[in-house]
Amino acid sequence: MAIKTLAETDLTAQNTVVTGLGTAATAAATAKTTADTDLTAKGTALTTATTNYNNQVTAAAATATALTTPLSELATLRTGAGTATTALTTAITNLTGQQTLIDAAQVTVKAAFAKHLAAVVACKETAYDKYSATLATAEATRKTNITAIEKLIDDRVVPAKGAAGARCEKAISNGTWRPKRDDKTCATGLCCGAAKIPVGKATMIIETCQTKTATTYGYVAPRAPMATTIPTAVDYPFMCIQGAQKLAAAASAVAAALYMMA
């Protein structure tokens, strides 16, 4: 009896173990199925990812080929931009230096212009003062000269009609009824004579009353404008007109007589 009981107890225990193992096997089978399903899904995902990667690699290779020329051009442009930037930096530096020189030169020019302007103004002031002084002197001299000229005019002695030095030109026929020239034109002892005065390329004849023995006439030229002295008289040959007329008449009579005698 005891052996039977022990055997049953052992059998029960074994059944319990078997049952546990069955349950564990079922759970393991379920886990395996789940793992197989997950593995299949991951395999599919891996295949899809691999395909996508390969496609992207192909696309990237095509893109790299397409970008070769633009990238080369971009590199060239970057090199040119670097060179241009360097040149621009140098030009800006030079410009700054030149602007500094220009600013300094402008300061010099401004100072020189101010000095020149001051010199011009001073020169004009000096010239105006000189002009004013010269004008004042000239006005004073003119006033003095006019006074002297007025005195010359006031002191002038005009010979009386028929007196020595008086004019005795032949009367003109313009209706003035001036008397003709005759023996009474000049005072007693005088004659109306003529003197030839050269004036440039012309000859001026002046007729005046002079002594019958006079052979020269002292001609006084007109006073120059604003002159304060009377010019010195210059002698020119003088001859009585009346005596010349008588001499001419006598010569004519002699010629007529000789003609009659021929």
Domain boundaries, the chain: 1-124, 161-261
Q: Using the predicted structure, report yes or no on whether residue 119 has a pLDDT greater than 60.
A: yes
Q: Compute the average pLDDT of residues 67-72.
A: 83
Q: Is the pLDDT of residue 247 over 80?
A: no
Q: What is the mean pLDDT of residues 121-147?
A: 93
- State mean pLDDT over 205-226: 93
Nearest of 200, 227, 205 to residue 217 by alpha carbon: 205
Burial 104-126 (b: 16+ CB within 10 A, else e): eeeeeeeeeeeeeeeeeeeeeee
- Give residue for tokens 């020149």: 116
| Confidence label for 191 from pLDDT (cuts 50, 70 and 90) | very high
Q: What is the pLDDT of residues 5-57, one digit of tens each?
A: 877 787 888 888 888 888 888 888 888 888 888 888 898 888 888 888 988 88
The confidence score (pLDDT) of residue 185 equals: 84
Strands 202-211 and 234-240: unpaired
Give the sign of the dihedral formed by CA 207, CA 208, CA 209, CA 210.
negative
The first and second tokens of residue 155, run together, are 């002191």
